[in-house]
Amino acid sequence: MSLTSTEIISTLSSRNLDVGYKSLAEIPHFSKMKDMIRGAKRLADAVRNKEQIFCVGDYDADGSCSTATCVSFFNDIGYPIKWVIPNRFTDGYGVSPSVLERIGDTDVIFTVDNGIAAHDAAEVCKERGIDLLITDHHTPGSLIPDCYAVINPKQDDCEYPFKDGSGCFVTWLLCCAIKHELGLDTDMGKYLDLVALSTITDVMPLVGINRHIVKYGLQKINTLKRPFFKELALSMGKDSFSYEDLGFQVGPRINAAGRLEHASLAVEAILASENEAQQLVRLLTEVNQRRKTMQSEMTENILELTEGQKDFIVVHSDSLHEGIVGIIAAKVAETTGYPTIVLTTAEDGLLKGSGRTVGVVNIYELVNECSNHLEKFGGHAGACGLSLRAEKLDTFIEAVRAVSRRLPREAFEPLNTAIGDLSPANADLDLYYQIEKFAPFGEGNPEPVFHCKEATIINSRAVGKEEDHTRLSLSWEGKEVTVMAFNSDVNNYPKGSKITFNYRLDLNEWNGKVNLQFMPTSKVKIK
C-alpha cells in the first residue's frame, strides 16, 4: 500500500531534528566547554604580550577548514600567526614530536581537529616550556594528554551540551572566546561558511545546531564572496552549491591535497585572494583527478582480496598508496556490507591504515575493544585510523571479527533503506517541497527513500557519452514515467520486463519548467 504525504511528513517530523536548538542564536555559549576560557585567556595574553603562536592542523577537509578559520581570524584581528599541517607520510597524524621539531622554539601551540591522543607531544612541550592547547572533537581515550588546556566536548567531564560538532566548530568557538577576551567586535558569522563545509565533509550528524550551521553556511557559500568558492563554482560549471556538491565534489578536492600532496595546498586555496584562487583551485582539481584514477585501480585490486571474508573486512597490501586507504576502505565497506579496514606498510615498517563502517555499526567502539593489539588508534563512530606491527595482524583480525560477530545483524543494514512504497499518483511537487523543509539531509538525517515494488518497461535507451546509462520509460501504477538507471547496460532492460528499485524525489528544471523526477538510489533490478 502506498504511503500518503501525511504519513511521510509524520515520519520525518518524528526524527526530532532540532533537539532543542531552533536557530543559530541558540548555539550553546563557549564558556560551557571545559578549558575553553582557560585556553582563550592564554591565547589572548599571547596576543597582548606579542608572543609567537603556532597552530597545528590536520590534513583532511575538517582540519583544513579549521586551520583556515583560525588563520583568517587572527589575520582579521591584526595578529597573524604561524601554522603548519603535518605531512601524512613523514609526520603521521596530528601534533607529533616530528612536527614539534620543525616548529622549533615558540611560546604557544594550539591544535585544531587533532591532539586528543597527543601524549608524546604534550610531554615534549612541557620539557621545552611551551604551552600546548588541544582543540579536538574526536573521541578521547581513557587518558587525556597532560597539557595547558584540552578543549573537546566529548570529554566525560565536559558539560558542553552539544557533542557532535566538527573540529572546525570547536575551532570557531575558540575564536569566539578569544574575541570575547580581547573585547573585539569581529563578525564571527563570516567564518560559518567553513564551519558548514567541515560539518558536511566530516560527515557530522545533521541534527541540533549542525542543521542551522549548514543552512546558514550554505547561504554564505553561495554568495561566492570567498574567492575559493567563486573559482570552484566556475571550474565546476555551477551557479551555486548544494549539500551534495560540497560533500561529493568539493570535499574530495580538499582531501585529495592531503592524500597525495600536502594539505597546506588546500588551506592556501581556501585562504586565497582573487589573484591566487584560480591557480590553486586548478591544482586541487588536478590532484583530485589523479586521486580518482589511483583509487579506481587500487579498489578493484583490493576487492579481489576480500573474497571469503565476512563479519569485518581487514585487507593489507604493500602496493597501496597510504593517502587513499581511507576512501578505498569506504568503497569496500559499501560493496561488501561489512565494516572495513585497509592497511598498507609505511616507511617505518608499521602497518598503517583506515577503517570505515556500515549501517549503524560504531567502528570506533568496535576497534577500541581490540586496541591492545595496536600501536596507535583514533577516530569516531564512522571512521578510524590505526597502526600496528605486522606480527600482530592475524591476532587483531581474529579479535575484531569476534567483537563484530556479537553485534545484531540489523546494525549492518544500509541506511538508505526505503521507508515504504510510494506510488507516483501520491508523489507531486507539493510533497517534494514539504520534504525539503526537513533538509539538509545527510548523516543523522537521511533523505527519505521510497520503494517501487513493480513497474513495467515500455522502452529503454542507452544515454551518456559512453552510453553507460539507461533511460527507462515505465508504466508504473497507471502512470507513464521516466527513470534513469545509472551505470547500466541497456541490454539488461528488455521491453515488457518488470522491475523494482528504491528511489528519492528530485526536481528536473529545464527551459523554465519544473518537473518531479524519481532518482534511483539502488540498482534497478529485473523482478
pLDDT of residue 416: 65
Indicate if 244 and 153 belong to the same structural domain. Answer: no
Based on the fold, state whether residues 367 and 391 are members of the same structural domain.
Answer: yes
pLDDT at residue 21, rounded to an integer: 87
Task: Give CA separation, 319 vs 87, 335, 352, 411, in Å.
Answer: 20, 21, 13, 32
CATH, residue 472: 2.40.50.460
Range of the domain at 339: 306-412
Task: Judge if 159 and 62 occupy the same domain.
Answer: yes
Q: In this structure, are 263 and 283 located in the same domain? A: yes
Do 135 and 242 reside in the same domain of the chain? Answer: no
Spatial neighbors of 323 by CB under 8 A, at least 6 apart, are 88, 89, 258, 259, 260, 291
Which of 276, 297, 318 is at the close of a domain? 297
Cα–Cα distance for residue pair 4/366, rounded to 1 Å: 39
Are 97 and 55 found together in one domain? yes
DSSP state of 29: P
The Cα–Cα gap between 291 and 506 comes to 30
Task: Confirm whether 230 is domain-assigned.
Answer: yes
What's the whole-model pTM score? 0.85
Asked if residue 198 belongs to a domain, the reply is yes
> Considering the domain boundaries, does residue 420 fall inside one?
yes
Domain finish residue from 412, 430, 458: 412
57 and 190 co-located in one domain: yes
Nearest residue to 55 via CA among 3, 104, 95? 95
Domain boundary among 412, 427, 454: 412
Is there a domain that residue 190 lies in? yes
Same domain, 152 and 178: yes
214 part of a folded domain: no
Q: Are residues 84 and 189 in the same domain?
A: yes
Asked, as a colleague might, if the bond just before 28 is cis with ω within 30 of 0, I would say no
Question: Residues for the chain: how many in total?
Answer: 527
pLDDT at 348: 82
Query: What is the structure's pLDDT at 129?
Result: 96
Per-position pLDDT tens, the chain of length 527:
789 999 999 999 998 887 778 899 999 999 999 999 999 999 999 999 999 999 999 999 999 999 999 999 999 999 999 999 998 877 777 898 889 999 999 999 999 999 999 999 999 999 999 999 999 999 898 899 999 999 999 999 999 999 999 999 999 999 999 999 999 999 999 999 999 999 999 989 999 999 999 999 999 999 999 999 999 999 999 999 999 899 999 999 999 998 888 889 999 999 999 999 999 999 999 999 999 999 988 998 899 999 889 899 999 999 898 889 999 999 999 889 999 999 999 878 899 999 999 988 999 999 999 999 999 898 888 889 999 999 999 999 999 999 999 999 888 987 667 899 999 999 999 999 999 999 888 888 889 999 998 999 999 999 988 888 899 999 999 899 999 888 888 899 999 999 999 999 998 887 778 889 999 988 888 88
In terms of domains, do 127 and 262 share one? no
Using one digit for the tens of pLDDT, what is the confidence trace for 34-74?
999 999 999 999 999 999 999 999 999 999 999 999 999 99
In a domain, residue 25? The reply is no
Q: How many domains does the chain have?
A: 4
Q: What is the CATH number of the domain that holds 125?
A: 3.90.1640.30
- What are the pLDDT digits (tens) for 131-182? 999 999 998 988 999 999 999 999 999 999 999 999 999 999 999 999 999 9
Whether residue 7 lies inside any domain: the answer is no
Indicate whether 159 and 231 sit together in one domain.
Answer: no
Q: For 211-253, how does the pLDDT look when each residue is reduced to its tens digit (9 = 90+)? A: 999 999 999 999 999 999 999 999 999 999 999 899 999 999 9
Is residue 239, in this structure, part of any structural domain at all? yes
CB atoms within 10 A of CB 126: 14
Do 61 and 188 belong to one domain? yes
Question: Which residues are within 8 A (CB) of 290 and not within 5 positions of it... i.e. 6 or more apart?
Answer: 256, 260
Return the closest-CA partner of residue 147 out of 21, 35, 7, 314: 35
